[in-house]
Amino acid sequence: MVYKLSSPELTWQDNGAPNSRQFGDIYFDTQSGIEETDYVFIQQNNLTERWKNLPGSCFTIAETGFGTGLNFLCAWDAWLKSGPLDATLHFLSVEKYPLSVDMLKTALKMWPELSALSDELIANYPVICHGLHRISLNQGKVQLTLWFGEASEGFATLNAHVDAWFLDGFAPSKNPEMWSESLFKEILRLSDTGTTLSTFTAAGIVRRGLQSTGFAIKKVKGFGQKREMLKGILEKQPDSFHQRMSEGLPWLSVRSNTPPPKKVLIIGAGLAGSHCAWQLASRGILVDVWEEKKEIADGASGNPQGMIYPKLASHDTPLNRFYLAGYLYTNRFLKSIDSTNTFWNDCGLIQKPITDLESNRFKKIIADEIYPQDVLRQNKNNNELFLPLSGWVKPKDLCKHLLDHSKIQLHLNKPLKKLESLGNQSWKVYSNESIEEFSHVILCQAYDSGLADTFLDLPRKAIRGQVSSLPLNEDVLLDKVICHEGYVSPPIDEKGSKHLHFGSTYSLNDTDENVRFTDHQKNLQKLEKLIPNQNWQNKANDCAGRVSFRCTAPDYTPIVGPIFEQETLNECYAKLSKNAKWKSDKTAQPLSGLFINICHGSKGLVSTPLSACYLTSLILNEASPFERQIERALHPARFTIRRLKRR
């Protein structure tokens, strides 16, 4: 369940250093905190030497206890001095009692030599909310993934390969709950042969716990006056990476034997495709984008104004956690690329209940304090919710900004005609004018992604939506997005005058591409409930509009991830048709380098940014920004597996 996190109980020394009242322990040595981190974690994991001969393009460190972020900042600083210029440092950390931004600022003033890095961390620090948070730093060369919550629970959610462990946190004698058997098991699951670890403590509970999982542990001299500490290495990992991540559900594996990306092709220049292109390009990867139409964002992504609207639930599901994570990430991401609010505005959103049942759900959300106040709170009207991180976006302008990158080549009027695997971890791709070769392909053309069906059956449907636009002759007092049966966003300037955008209709089994007067009337009826007493129905003749088709899956969950071959799934996992609870270690590999990112429906502004980050992590073989349950909920193979189980 999404739950309210407890704030750390701190006392502050005269020099600004924090102490924990909960655990009666210090966060760092105020005289030599940086030197201690360097000795205990950087040196004992032999990081500088290992980085000189880094075999891949990414090095991953995992830490227990983010605290003030000092260990992370020291690792980042060491990486800048010794890490390969063309590689990425990925740092994973967990924290049950996360510090607020103000606490972080105060604590890190102790270390002026790290101020440039700490300022960037503070500027990108996430809202304090339970779950995974992905932060990109140092122009993408440093990736930070934070889990706010219990340590073992956080590591259990991860899909990652860890190269080195910083086992920090408060001393085992003061915080024995963290140093649990479940934590040691997760450390083993996320480690491979050669993974190292180090920890300030030499306590028996830690030594025995790590040895029981297979780590070779030895005592070495501790830092300063401390007599001993522990370091270790995993000499042999008994299970493969796929076995450790899938845990008996290999049909929902997301890692394939994908080659290092040379040039990636993205099909579709809407929100999904534009975000994928930007994420990859920002990591230094060459990207081609093919769009079959004459303009970018010409489908459902092309509405003049869209809303950031996650519609958070009162109960826990992987889908709700997906939208919560996407909502928080989208807000941080838009701030980072458009700090002046050129094409977006985080004005907030008011959600009005439609039925008594929904009103009761709102009351439960507020009463149970499921979400922190910074994410969702009660509006002034007791029956309404207010989402302060929401707002509106000009989707087409956002796509233009994302695609305006030196590593991205955009091709309009260029449809995908055929995909052919070359069998050497690359793809031959046919358009109406050329045949080209790419190491990776991502299909992002929403409902028109029929070529994916030649590999894997992906059920989806199109839902017609008409939005309306009305020029305003007088001011409308509206400074927030409002949602009820429909929605309306604050007026924006278009061609020298204010326009109000609202809607939208929701029509199943309707393929009419024409704007309909009757749909304007329906949208105006919804607008009357949002902004009453304005005689909106008399203005139907003044409305302009736009029709597009939302691409959705039968379970109303996006389809994001690697593509398998249908026959391979059917053959490998046929036993599911006889025993739906059957588990297996047999891994069917996804098609190397082929991915899909569709069916975001009306929530694309919330879901596509983090989904693009996720696909980038798969292509680069880096730690995932999604919990494993979320990966499985989005997985393209889920429909085939469900059909097998129903048999």
Q: What is the pLDDT of residues 240-256, one digit of tens each?
A: 888 899 888 888 888 87
**Which residue has 């700090």 as its token pair?**
339
User: What's the confidence (pLDDT) of residue 410?
Assistant: 98
Percentage, residues of the chain above pLDDT 70: 98
pLDDT for position 53: 86
Confidence of residue 524 (pLDDT cuts 50, 70, 90): very high
Range 501-505 average pLDDT:
94
The backbone torsions φ and ψ at residue 293, rounded to the nearest 5 degrees and listed phi first, read -95, 175
Is the pLDDT at 494 greater than 90, yes or no?
no
Q: Decide if 80 contacts 142 (C-beta within 8 A).
A: no
> How many Å separate Cα 421 from the centre of its chain?
29
Residue 48 clears pLDDT 70, i.e. is over it: yes
Alpha-carbon 473 to chain mean position: 41
Backbone angles phi, psi at 147, to 5 degrees: -110, 120
Among 320-334, 377-391, 611-625, the range scoring the smallest mean pLDDT is 377-391
Of the pLDDT bands very low, low, confident and very high (cuts 50, 70, 90), residue 220 is very high
Of the candidates 328, 182, 323, 322, which has an alpha carbon nearest to the alpha carbon of residue 629? Answer: 322
For 441, half-sphere exposure in the C-beta direction (CA atoms, 13 angstrom radius) is 26
Confidence tier at 518 by pLDDT (50, 70, 90) = very high
Which of 16-30, 59-73, 626-640 is predicted least confidently?
Answer: 16-30
> 312-320 long-range contacts, Cβ below 8 Å, gap at least 24?
312/365, 312/370, 312/371, 312/375, 312/376, 312/387, 314/361, 314/364, 314/365, 314/368, 314/370, 315/1, 316/1, 316/2, 318/627, 318/629, 318/630, 318/632, 318/633, 319/557, 319/630, 319/633, 320/2
56 pLDDT above the threshold of 80: no
Average pLDDT over residues 624-636: 96
Distance CA 584, CA 437 (A): 35
The stretch 9-22 carries a mean pLDDT of 79
The answer to whether 205 touches 236, Cβ cutoff 8 Å, is no
Q: Would you say residue 175 has pLDDT above 80?
A: no
Kindly report, residue by residue over 341-380, the tens digit of the pLDDT: 999 999 999 999 999 999 999 999 999 888 999 999 999 8
Residue 2, pLDDT score: 53
Label residue 217 exposed, middle or buried (CB < 10 Å: 0-12, 13-18, 19+).
middle
> Over 90: is that where the pLDDT of 23 sits?
no
Mean pLDDT along residues 457-473: 93
**Residue 41 DSSP code:** I
- Backbone angles phi and psi of 130, in degrees to 5: -55, 135
Q: What is the pLDDT of residue 165?
A: 98
* pLDDT mean over 370-395: 93
Is the pLDDT higher at 616 or at 495? 616
Q: Which residue has the tokens 């830490």?
A: 63
Alpha carbons 567 and 576: distance in angstroms, whole number:
14
| Spatial distance between the Cα atoms of 450 and 498, rounded to a whole number of angstroms | 40
Give the mean pLDDT of 228-232. Answer: 96
DSSP code of 591? P
Measured distance CA(144)–CA(478) in Å, rounded: 37
The amino acid present at 611, given as its one-letter code, is S
With 70 as the cut, is the pLDDT of residue 313 above it?
A: yes
Structure tokens at 285: 């990867």
What is the average pLDDT value for the chain, to the nearest integer?
92
pLDDT tens per residue, range 562-592: 999 999 999 999 999 999 999 888 777 888 9
If you average pLDDT over residues 289-316, what whole number do you get?
Answer: 93
166-170, 370-374, 618-622: least confident range = 166-170
Mean pLDDT, to the nearest integer, of 491-499?
89
What is the Cα–Cα distance from 109 to 115, expressed in whole angstroms?
A: 8
**In angstroms, how far apart are the furthest CA atoms of the chain?**
83
**pLDDT classification of 102: cutoffs 50, 70, 90:** very high
Chain position carrying tokens 């990158």? 405
Q: Is the pLDDT of residue 393 over 80?
A: yes
